Structure 1
Amino acid sequence: MTRQLSATEAKKRQIQILYAGFSMIFLSAVAAVGGLYLFRGRFANLMSADYLYEFLVLLSPFLLVYPLSRAALATLRAQKRTFPAVMAQQIGGRGIAFIALLLFIIGGREFDGAIVYWVTGPLFAFIIALYFISKGGLSWNVFDTLPDGKTARKLWSFSWPLAIGSGIFLLLNRVDILMIGYFLPSNEVGYYRAVQPLKKIATFALGSFTFLFLPVATEYYTEGDTAGLDQIFTITTKWILLITLPPVLLFALFSGDIIQILFGDNYLPAAPVLTILSTGLLFRALSGLDGDMVKAIDRPQIELFSGALGLSSNIILNYVLIPVFEISGAAVATVVGYIVYNGTELIWIYHLTGASPFSVNIAKHLGVMSVLAVLVSRIVPSPIGLVDLICVGISLTLFQPVVLILTSSVDEADIDLVEQLETRMGRNLGIIKRIARKGL
């Protein structure tokens, strides 16, 4: 919905997209709720858990309100309205749900509170998002709007590859755990699962840029501005790297100390896994928002094809490497799977548009920062404590602007971004601009 809404400025066309999107989501959600209700007994028997018979009914409204809330937030995303989106999802939806949970806990009804939390969060996010949509000049009445078959077919043809691709991506995130459990003892699964959430450090910055990237990139593509599309792809990748690089280098070079601080000596066998995942998944950050790019250029099938290749390579390498290298082999297989997945998307994007997330300035900055981080890891005595680790992380962060200037890795687009911040904040950032221009 975000992509299709961003590709047109005609209000009637946007209303048709809203109608088609919400209608398909509502009908599929109702079918999911009905199926869960009818087959709840079989699910309970399959999982050998009789309590699921009741719990699935209580949680089933989530299957209805959650996708509707995501559709409403997708509409705000297409309108580039970050504040209403945060108000709807984080402050309104989750805030109200959290307050309700606390009240139920205080009343001694923790289980009921958990059910209310999961259902009311997306429900209030949906209601608040609809309010902002209507106030933004894109209100419509479903009773006055006739369905447009052409719009629905286009939305469906764009969405189904992404739906399957999302399922493949979910497997790509989980297949390593499944195969470790098949080949190795349960304690190895425990080591791997302990550090697996920490690999998100390599990709956490992607979410900060993805909200606005897709609608903006879609506009560039529909206007035929390939130069602008290339520039926004490269500059967002650069800023994602600037945010991601210090913690990734810290996790990769001080993995043993981090494991020791967070989990204790017993989990030290997982340190090589953290190093491999942190370093290897840096390619995810370097790939930029390639997933949003394939949506922006109206090629969702690329997501499906790339995901299938990445998952296949991951499974094959897990099968080959885990018996030999144990959990480190699973980490390598995961990294290679992501490289195949993202690399395939990048090749297609470049072939179709000439856009690339890479640049000489990104390469210079990455190379110098990596060398500096290695030198710091050699100088700092090991093991180090939490305070020293935080100091090293702050030092690596402070190195970045210095390295950008000394290696002349600043772009004109970086200056433009500072000027936009200057306008929004209403403050004079002339000093920062003068310093940054020295690195052009």
Structure 2
Amino acid sequence: MSTQGSTLSKLAKSASIVMLAMIFGNSIGLLAEVVIARSLPPSLYGELTLAYTIVFSLGTIALLGIHQGMTRQFSAAETERRQTQILYAGFSMILFSALATVGGLYFFRGWFADFMSADHLYEHLLLLSPFLLFYPLSRAALATLRAEKRTLPAVIAQHLGGRGMAFLFLVIFVLADAQFVGAVVYWVTTPLFISLIALYYLFESGLLRNPFDTSPDKKTVRKLWDFSWPLAIGSGIFLLLNRVDILMIGYFLPSNQVGYYRAVQPLKKIATFALGSFTFLFLPVATEYYTEGDTDGLDQIFTITTKWILLITLPPVLLFALFSPDVIKILFGDNYLPAAPVLTILSAGLLFRAVSGLDGDMVKAIDRPRIELFSGALGLLSNIILNFLLIPTFEISGAAIATVSGYIIYNGVELIWIYHLTGGSPFSVNIAKHIGVMSVLAILVSGILPSPVGLVGLIAVGISLTLLQPVVLILTSSVDEADLDLVRQIESKTGKNLEIVKKIVKKGV
């Protein structure tokens, strides 16, 4: 096992690669959503995205949590033969489940249309049904690359090549004045291209060659399923936590309200995109720490990665929460301004997702996947109840409040269990000081600036908040030794003399 400093350096390097790719991929995804939303009426956009939400939900359920089980079991396997058995068992189970889900959607698509009272949902579901095959396959392939700690191939497949190629198809159809077809093609081909690129890298490494030489035995399938089924239910619960708001808005409100709410969904990812950057490598690394019994080291990397996630996440979250009308108007136009309060609530509320750190990966690393099932069930139950109570009165803002509340309960319960089992926690006094001071400064800035601030003003505020962070860290003495160690690692690997930087950073320790 490498030293803690080396491990944190690897996590930071992996996260940097993933983050850069995610910035590109999410920017492409946001641009695609903006193009689709602007080119379609809110009612049609709402009905089409409602169909996509249903298909995406079914595709996630079809995974049965097996892709997460593949990563965990593959990382813990001691021989290459054992890894190959796990790989083929996972792909076989996911393929079977995906085919069954496609059949289920075909027979029940009429019921979905009647339940949501959406006239064209029947046809939209049929057009999007190939997604149910491509998406589970793409997640399984990415899970394997993750288990191998192959960060660069994974981000090329998921964020660069896959989404980039799908966006190219969208642009072609939009230029041909076929915006509706372009939207369908974009959503369907994104996981298709991800699958093809990821599978290419797996074939190249030799993992998927000679499939008949190594086949999974019953013991492998059973062990993978025993680990995965709680994650399957947990994934379904997490999915509903993330999507039940759109489904219930579709049930209670007109389709244009679905369109307003769905338009801000890519923007709320800003609260968790840094989380996704670190999670790629965190699970296999944390699994190694736990397997070797180093709970102190596990706790330390849990806390410090949470802090780094927060530092990346906080400026854009504050920007979106405090200047939501300007953000909505610039991206989607005046027609979507009713979604501004939703963006404020989701951005501010989902900051807890970043502050709670990598709790989901922690429960997998310590081999307690049922914790996620239990905590997710509580979060989902509260989410559904609050949606029923709040949507009829507060409409889409009520759905946003219900979603945030569900996440707080879900993550809070997980963190309590993690602390009980390992003594680990993502929170620290330094994190609390930094959030408090940065939030006060951002609120003061929003109160001083005239409205609207415009695109140039938003960019200036975002840059200012980002540049303020190291100043606030040092002035509030919120720097940790691990932060200083990361500077030393950078100095060592780049060969640059960073003595001045180290002296400044030390003042904040």
Same fold, TM-score > 0.5, yes or no? yes
Match of 1:162 among 231, 234, 241: 231
Name the stretch that deviates more: 327-336 or 400-409.
Answer: 327-336
Secondary structure at 1:145's aligned position in 2?
coil
- Opposite residue 210 of structure 1, the aligned amino acid is T
Distance 1:133 1:276, change over 3 A: same
Q: How does 1:170-319 map to 2 (within 5 A)?
A: 170-184=239-253, 188-264=257-333, 267-319=336-388
Aligned-partner Cα distance in 1 for 2:122–2:382: 39
Q: Are 2:154 and 2:198, in contact at CA under 8 Å, matched by a contact in 1?
A: no
Shift of 1:18: 2.1
Which of 432, 452, 461 in structure 2 is aligned with 1:383?
Answer: 452
Q: Which of 128, 132, 137 pairs up with 2:200?
A: 128
Q: Distance in 2 between matches of 1:285 and 1:167?
A: 21
Aligned-residue offset at 1:163 = 1.8
Q: 1:417–1:104: structure 2 CA closer, same or farther, 3 Å change rule?
A: same
TM-score by length of 2: 0.74
Decide whether aligned partners of structure 1 residues 46 and 186 sit closer, same or farther in structure 2, where only a CA change above 3 A counts. Answer: closer
SS in 1 for 2:364: helix
Alpha carbons of structure 1 residues 350 and 41: separation in structure 2 relative to 1, 3 Å: closer
After TM superposition, the structure 1 stretch with the greater mean CA deviation from structure 2, 260-269 or 156-165, is 260-269
Map of 1:23 onto structure 2: 92
Q: CA deviation at 1:310?
A: 0.9
- Which residue in the other structure is 1:72 paired with? 141
Query: Which runs of 5 or more residues in structure 2 are unaligned?
Result: 1-69, 114-118
Of 92-101 and 16-25, deviating more is: 92-101
Aligned-pair Cα RMSD in Å = 3.5
Seen in structure 2, the aligned counterparts of structure 1 residues 175 and 89 have a Cα distance that, compared at 3 Å, is closer
1:329 aligns with 2:398: yes
Q: Partners in 2 of 1:327 and 1:95 — Cα distance?
A: 31
> 1:84, 1:132 within 8 Å by CA — same for their partners in 2?
no
- Alpha-carbon displacement from aligned partner over 1:331-363 (angstroms, at most 9, x marks no partner): 222211110111111111111111111011101
Q: Which residue of 2 aligns with 1:11?
A: 80
Aligned positions, number: 432
Report if aligned partners of 2:306, 2:358 keep a CA contact under 8 Å in 1. yes
Whether the aligned pair in 2 keeps the contact of 1:241 and 1:286 (CA below 8 Å) is yes
Which amino acid in structure 1 is aligned with residue 455 of structure 2?
A: L
The letter of the residue matching 2:197 is A
> What TM-score, normalized by structure 1, do the two folds share?
0.85
Amino acid at match of 2:75: S
Alpha-carbon distance in structure 2 between the residues aligned to 1:425 and 1:333: 47
Equivalent residues of 1:44, 1:52 under 8 A apart: no
Q: 1:93 to 1:172 in 2, by over 3 A?
A: closer
- Greater shift after overlay, 180-189 or 193-202? 180-189
Map 1:21-60; keep pairs closer than 5 Å.
Answer: 21-32=90-101, 35=103, 40=106, 43=109, 60=130
Task: State the secondary structure of the residue aligned to 1:205.
Answer: helix
d(CA) in 2 for partners of 1:182 and 1:54? 16
Q: What is the deviation of 1:263?
A: 4.3
SS at match of 2:309: helix
Counterpart residue number, 2:213: 144
Alpha-carbon shift at residue 420 of structure 1 (Å): 3.5
- Structure showing greater radius of gyration is 1
Question: Aligned partners of 1:119 and 1:380: how far apart in 2?
Answer: 42
Segment of structure 1 superposing worse, 164-173 or 342-351: 164-173
Question: In structure 2, what residue type is equivalent to 1:152?
Answer: V
Range moving further from structure 2, 206-215 or 164-173: 164-173
Greater RCO, 1 or 2 (C-alpha within 8 Å, sep 6+): 2
How far is the alpha carbon of 1:255 from its aligned partner?
2.5
Counterpart-to-counterpart distance in 1, 2:284 and 2:362:
10
Q: What is the CA-CA distance between 1:27 and the residue it aligns to?
A: 3.6
Identity of aligned residues (%): 74
